[in-house]
Amino acid sequence: MKVLVTGATGFVGQHLIPQLLARGHTVTAVARNPSKARGFDWYEHVHFIACDIYQPRENVFQFFGLPDVVIHLAWEGLPNYKELFHFERNLFADYLFIKSLVEGGARHLLITGTCFEYGMRNGCLSEDMPSLPGNPYALAKDTLRKFVEVLPQKQDITFQWARLFYMYGNGQNQNSLIAQLDRAIDSGDPVFNMSGGEQLRDYLPVEDVATKLVNLMEHPQCTGIVNICSGEPISVRRLVEQHLAQRESHIRLNIGYYPYPDYEPMAFWGDAKKFSSITGER
């Protein structure tokens, strides 16, 4: 299939594209920075378009090569979850971009959402729960999903909303937990400051997230909200300890140095049954 990937050089996009290519798909990769894109091994094997997708243009769907599938990953300003620009600017820019693609003929949309759409809930989170977003980022994402669901062409579209849980791996934001830990290890720091670490979260390597997104795309009968998760909770402290063992590091953990984030519940993870029942993958 011909697949358009926005946010191609982002954390997920850079890992998604090699997997699409490996499965024989033709990829049009879109990002603003061609210099960054040239640094990836996949660059020579895709049709790369350097542009601002939010810039108004005629015939958007045709401009991007009439793809069979649109995988929309792009979203500005992360990980600043609390900033108002998520719904003051990003929401409407993304909606108009998606609307233009659909009006031009796009018929298969896979758009990434966030587990934060579930709000401040503890426990196992399943797709049939009502959304209760508690920060501007989650509110904007959840509203975008609802906007797309009421497009006049909705009945003719395969619409997959992939709710991403937590990820780690190469290319992650430098302020994320594992990236900070790696930096401390590489710098030879004797101590790593962290929270109490008792939070339960749902983590996957970003490569596994990319695999799940490709599998979801290849199963168009699986529509609506789909959790992209492991389905297995792990404490933040245990995740850190596992990473230290993998890195063979003896850095000392300063547990409880930071307070727990106020925009996350204490213990939550995804229900993976919907994804597994369709794709056969855990």
pLDDT tens digit sequence for 140-185: 999 999 999 999 888 889 999 999 999 999 999 998 999 999 999 9
Q: Looking at residue 282, what is its pLDDT?
A: 62
Q: What is the DSSP letter of 267?
A: B
- Reported pTM: 0.95
Q: Looking at residue 144, what is its pLDDT?
A: 98
Which tokens in the block code for residue 270? Answer: 């995804």
Q: Looking at residue 279, what is its pLDDT?
A: 80
Alpha-carbon distance 75 to 187, whole Å?
A: 31
Alpha-carbon distance 279 to 282, whole Å?
A: 8
Instruction: Tell me the fold of 2-167+203-231+270-279.
Output: Rossmann fold (3.40.50)
Q: Looking at residue 64, what is its pLDDT?
A: 98
pLDDT tens digit sequence for 92-126: 999 999 999 999 999 999 999 999 999 999 999 99
Residue 102 contacts residue 151 (beta carbons within 8 Å): yes
How many Cα atoms occupy the beta-carbon half-sphere of 220 within 13 Å?
A: 12
Alpha-carbon distance 222 to 79, whole Å?
A: 28
Residue 179 contacts residue 171 (beta carbons within 8 Å): no
Alpha-carbon distance 157 to 147, whole Å?
A: 14
Where are the chain's structural domains?
A: 2-167+203-231+270-279, 173-200+233-268
Which tokens in the block code for residue 178? Answer: 């594992």
Residues of the chain with pLDDT under 70: 282
Which tokens in the block code for residue 148? Answer: 């797309």
Q: Looking at residue 261, what is its pLDDT?
A: 86
**DSSP readout, 6-61?**
ESTTSTTHHHHHHHHHHTT-EEEEEES-HHHHHTSGGGGGSEEEES-TTS--SSHH
Three-state SS for 157?
Answer: coil
Residue 238's contacts (CB-CB under 8 Å, 6 or more residues apart) are 197
Alpha-carbon distance 4 to 88, whole Å?
A: 26
Q: Looking at residue 79, what is its pLDDT?
A: 86
Give the CA distances from residue 104 to residues 64, 74, 94, 150, 253, in Å, rounded to whole numbers and listed in that order: 11, 20, 15, 17, 53
Displacement of CA 275 from its chain's centroid (Å): 16
**How do 69-72 and 47-50 pair as beta strands?**
unpaired
Residue 144's contacts (CB-CB under 8 Å, 6 or more residues apart) are 91, 94, 95, 98, 111, 113
